[in-house]
Structure 1
């Protein structure tokens, strides 16, 4: 592992901890040349293809999913920790399914379900993109379904 400060390739691990239910390893490292200390994380890489609605396939991308959920939760009372825990649990589920291809609808419905429990505004934001609302009436129908408008 290269030192981020001096770019030397000689670093040593000074501490290792298992985190996130044993699926991530956190390592504290120290550069042998300049003494700089830094942290690295080792995670399981999901080798899963996501099958989109139009039948296209793309590799699972944790960062893309995280970005979508963050957008929906922007300025809402939902912690980053809660979002990351959800993604961690979703990824464990995907691993346990043992399938090489997963429909995007499966992931979308899991996200929608979590957001609906956490925060109605975040849910509507995500649903408007996920369910491809065509006009304001679809927003109104969805809000009525949540029970906020009579």
Structure 2
């Protein structure tokens, strides 16, 4: 690591600490003696999401969060539970070690988690994800839920 003050290549690590998604290193230049901080971040292969119309875009956690939060809106579900579920879903998605994942796969994973968490949130999400067109579609989905209970 080059010293930002004198450009000497001879530096030593004084202290290392984990930061949020990186490692913070405190370094000291062996030539000029000045100290500076560096951050090391693990480089990952970006996950691409394949939409229904075959458009590919980078995975975005905020879109996952938005959809789940909308489904859980005004439901008696603690925020910590929702965040833990989002983390679990994201770990499941990223743990597949694939470079691309279809939105249909993500949707099914989310629906399975919501089905276990809250029936109303599940039906809300399913209605948007599966594009329910009429009341009969809602009723069929609710009947499926009732039979499983």
Shorter-chain TM-score: what band?
Answer: 0.5 to 0.7
Give the conservation status (yes or no) of the 8 Å contact 1:69–1:126. Answer: yes
Question: Equivalent residue for 1:82?
Answer: 81
Flag structure 1 segments of 5+ consecutive residues without an equivalent. Answer: 1-15, 28-41
Give the conservation status (yes or no) of the 8 Å contact 2:46–2:59. Answer: yes
CA deviation string 1:11-36 (max 9, x = no partner) = xxxxx6667xxxx47x9xxxxxxxxx
Question: After the TM superposition, which segments of 4 or more aligned residues of structure 1 sit over 6 Å from their partners?
Answer: 16-19, 42-46
Larger Rg: 2
* RMSD (Å) for aligned C-alpha atoms: 2.6
Q: Is the alpha carbon distance of 1:43 and 1:107 closer, same or farther for their aligned partners in structure 2, counting shifts above 3 Å?
A: farther
Give the 3-state SS of the residue equivalent to 1:112 in structure 2.
Answer: helix
Give the conservation status (yes or no) of the 8 Å contact 2:93–2:106. Answer: no
Give the conservation status (yes or no) of the 8 Å contact 1:124–1:142. Answer: yes
TM-score by length of 2: 0.67
The number of residues matched between the two structures is 115
Deviation (angstroms), 1:71: 0.5
CA distance in 1, matches of 2:42, 2:81: 18
Question: Equivalent residue for 1:57?
Answer: 56
